[in-house]
Amino acid sequence: MLDMNTKAMYKLSYGLFICTAVDGDKMNGCVTNTAIQVASDPNLISLAINKSNYTHDMVVKTGECNISVISNDADFELFKHFGFQSGRDVDKFADYPKSSYAMADNNIPYITAGTNAYFSLKVENMFDLGSHTLFICKPTFMTVLSDVQSCTYEYYQNNIKPKPVPVGETPKGETIWRCTICGYEWVGEELPDDFICPICKHPKADFEKVVR
Amino acid at 86: S
Beta carbon nearer to its own copies, 69 or 199: 69
Per CB under 8 A, the list member of 54, 79, 96, 119 interacting with its own copies is 119
Q: How far is the CB of 51 from its own copies (least distance, A)?
A: 10
Per CB under 8 A, the list member of 105, 189, 190, 193 interacting with its own copies is 105
Stretch that binds its own copies, among 125-133, 161-169, 170-178, 185-193 (CB under 8 A): 125-133
The answer to whether 165 contacts its own copies (rule: CB under 8 A) is no
Per CB under 8 A, the list member of 56, 81, 132, 178 interacting with its own copies is 132
The answer to whether 118 contacts its own copies (rule: CB under 8 A) is yes
The answer to whether 79 contacts its own copies (rule: CB under 8 A) is no
The answer to whether 69 contacts its own copies (rule: CB under 8 A) is yes
Amino acid at 160: I
Stretch that binds its own copies, among 6-14, 56-64, 73-81, 198-206 (CB under 8 A): 6-14
What distance separates the 2 farthest-apart alpha carbons in the chain?
64
Helix (H) or strand (E) holding 64: strand 64-70
Site for its own copies in 33-52 (CB under 8 A): 33-46, 48, 50
The answer to whether 187 contacts its own copies (rule: CB under 8 A) is no
Cα separation of 132 and 125, whole Å?
A: 14
Of 89, 88, 109, nearest to 99 by C-alpha is 109
Cα separation of 162 and 177, whole Å?
A: 18
Of 155, 163, 126, 147, nearest to 48 by C-alpha is 126
Q: How far is the CB of 139 from its own copies (least distance, A)?
A: 7
The answer to whether 15 contacts its own copies (rule: CB under 8 A) is yes
Distance, C-alpha 164 to centroid of its chain: 19
Helix (H) or strand (E) holding 185: strand 185-187
Cα–Cα distance list, 200 to 116, 142, 178, 180 (Å): 24, 30, 12, 10
Cα separation of 87 and 160, whole Å?
A: 23
Phi-psi region of 138 (alpha: psi -120 to 50; beta: other; left: phi over 0): beta
Per CB under 8 A, the list member of 60, 117, 181, 200 interacting with its own copies is 117
Beta carbon nearer to its own copies, 14 or 93: 14
Binding positions for its own copies, rule: CB under 8 A? 1-2, 4-9, 11-16, 33-46, 48, 50, 69, 105, 116-119, 125, 127, 129-132, 134, 136, 139, 141-144, 149-152, 154
